[in-house]
Amino acid sequence: MSTAVLAEDLRRVGLAAGLAAVGFTSVEPFTEARAAIDDRRAAGLDGGMQFTFRNPARSTEPERILAGARSLVVGAWRYDVAAPASPPGEPSGRVAAYARVDHYADLRQALAVVADHLEAVGHRTRVVADDNALADRAAALRAGIGWQGKNTNILLPGRGSWFVLGAVVTSADLPPATQPVVDGCGPCTRCLTGCPTDAIIAPGVLDARRCLAWLVQAPGEIPREHRVAMGDRLYGCDDCQEVCPPNRWLGHEVEPHMGPGGSRAWVPVLDLLDATDDEVMATAGRWYVPRRDPRFLRRNALVVLGNVGDRADPRVAAVVERYVRSDDDLLAAHAVWAARRLGLDQLVALAPAGPAVDAERNALAP
Ligand code: B12
Ligand code: SF4
Ligand code: SF4
């Protein structure tokens, strides 16, 4: 079978399995991505992230994934962004669209169908999606799936950026994309100005130390200077995609295979702060939570409560007081912040002394 015929078969099979786009590229190292990761790490813009920053060579040399690999079949999976308004009368944390359903499981399943097709004709394969083994955007860019926007997301022509990305690494020889997708950003700068923390410090360059999508996943404190801007975000941040004109033109249409993602768009934070460890982690599902420790989600919930809670609601005051009295210094400090933000200053003195609490008490009111 010619490589062109095999590629067409794979594209057909991938699209039939639900992929929104399928592209091909070689396993040549992603030298630009490697240099960008190294530069960002050297400049401190990685903010301590691991992922592809942990071992950049490993993430940018796809041959390491599968001995004898020749090609990557890159796929994009569209996810639903439609969501109901936040529930009235209930302080709720917002969940970014990509994290409401395990879209990576759907993506991997579709890529596995492509892999099965390759295996059936004698090739070896490995599926990788959101895996530290591959810089997915670099692969999608070179496979001609889309262009890289100034917000660093891959946008598909005419279809925007609400996609997750993955690949099948294979021993098969497949015809690589030769034409990059034309940059569709033009003079637009909406994502740079629309980011609540100015985390996109130059077109295509993100400072993770300021990016809310990272800060809600990072261990340690949420930096004080970004807590108000965090607003109601419990997990993830979609602002630089929501303001993006190609996404706005599309509206929020739902494709049939996308599933009821909207149902997990909001998490009631008082319930989360009352929940047991197991219940908190059940809410998190497959979200990235440092060391799978529920306190980091509680920390996020306290910031959300400080931003959107109603001080006159006795349940709000009771939950904040319970956390102010916590012997977990990190949580008590975030509760002290929430108490002051809500105007419940009488609670501040109840916090047990500790490095984070003391710093919080000495800081200016939010
Ligand atoms: C680390 C990581 C993050 C970090 C850092 C993101 C970043 N921009 O670097 C954090 C936690 C902040 C994050 C956030 C999000 N992420 Co993320 N993340 C990753 C991960 C694990 C690695 C990405 C990486 O290697 N970054 C390193 C930097 C150096 O890469 P880069 O920014 O693409 O670098 C290129 C550009 O800077 C470009 N460049 C250089 N100069 C210029 C100049 C111009 C003008 C332009 C346009 C480009 C450009 O060259 C570089 C090399 O190619 C991947 C999964 C994976 N295994 O690849 C998912 C991934 C990138 N994330 C994804 C998603 C969905 C998100 C969020 C939307 C989730 C959310 N709603 O909260 C946000 C988006 C925030 C944003 N604007 O990027 C998707 C992206 C899908 C898409 N359509 O692009 C991925 C691919 C996961 C997946 N498999 O689907 N993420
Ligand atoms: S994800 Fe949010 S905080 Fe991060 S760059 Fe985009 S808009 Fe800014
Ligand atoms: S908001 Fe504008 S500049 Fe940013 S990614 Fe979208 S089109 Fe490009």
Domain ranges for the chain, please list them. 3-84+99-170, 190-362
Is 60 touching ligand 1 by the criterion CB < 6 Å?
no
pLDDT at 255 over 50: no
Strands 200-202 and 205-206: antiparallel
Residue 215 to residue 134: CA distance in whole angstroms: 22
Q: Using CA positions, which residue lies closest to atom 6 of ligand 2?
A: 240
Residue 56 to residue 249: CA distance in whole angstroms: 36
pLDDT at 262: 54
Each residue's pLDDT tens digit, 281-326: 999 999 999 999 999 999 999 999 999 999 999 999 999 999 999 9
More confident residue, 89 or 127: 127
Q: 263 pLDDT band (50/70/90 cuts)?
A: low
Q: What is the DSSP string of 75-104?
A: EEEE-----PPPPTTS-EEEE-GGGTTTHH
Q: 240 near 153, Cβ under 8 Å?
A: yes
pLDDT at 275 over 80: yes
Q: Is 130 left (phi over 0), alpha (psi -120 to 50) or beta?
A: left
What torsion do the CA atoms of 233, 237, 243, 246 make, to the nearest 10 degrees?
Answer: -140
Q: 260 pLDDT band (50/70/90 cuts)?
A: very low
pLDDT at 333: 98
Q: 77, 152, 205, 288: which to mutate for ligand 1, most atoms within 8 A of CB? A: 152
Does 329 participate in catalysis according to the annotation?
no
CA-atom Rg of the chain in angstroms: 22
Query: How many Cα atoms are found within 13 Å in the side-chain-facing hemisphere of 10?
Result: 35
Each residue's pLDDT tens digit, 158-169: 999 999 999 999
pLDDT at 251: 63
- Counting ligands in written order, which one lies closest to the CA of residue 167? 1
Instruction: Catalytic residue, from 38, 130, 232, 274: name it.
Output: 130
pLDDT at 256 over 50: no
Q: 253 pLDDT band (50/70/90 cuts)?
A: low
- pTM exceeds 0.85 for this model: yes
CATH 3.40.109 fits 3-84+99-170, yes or no: yes
Q: What is the 3-state secondary structure (H, E, C) of 177-221?
A: CCCCCCCCCCCCCHHHHHCCCCCEEECCEECCCCCHHHHCCCCCC
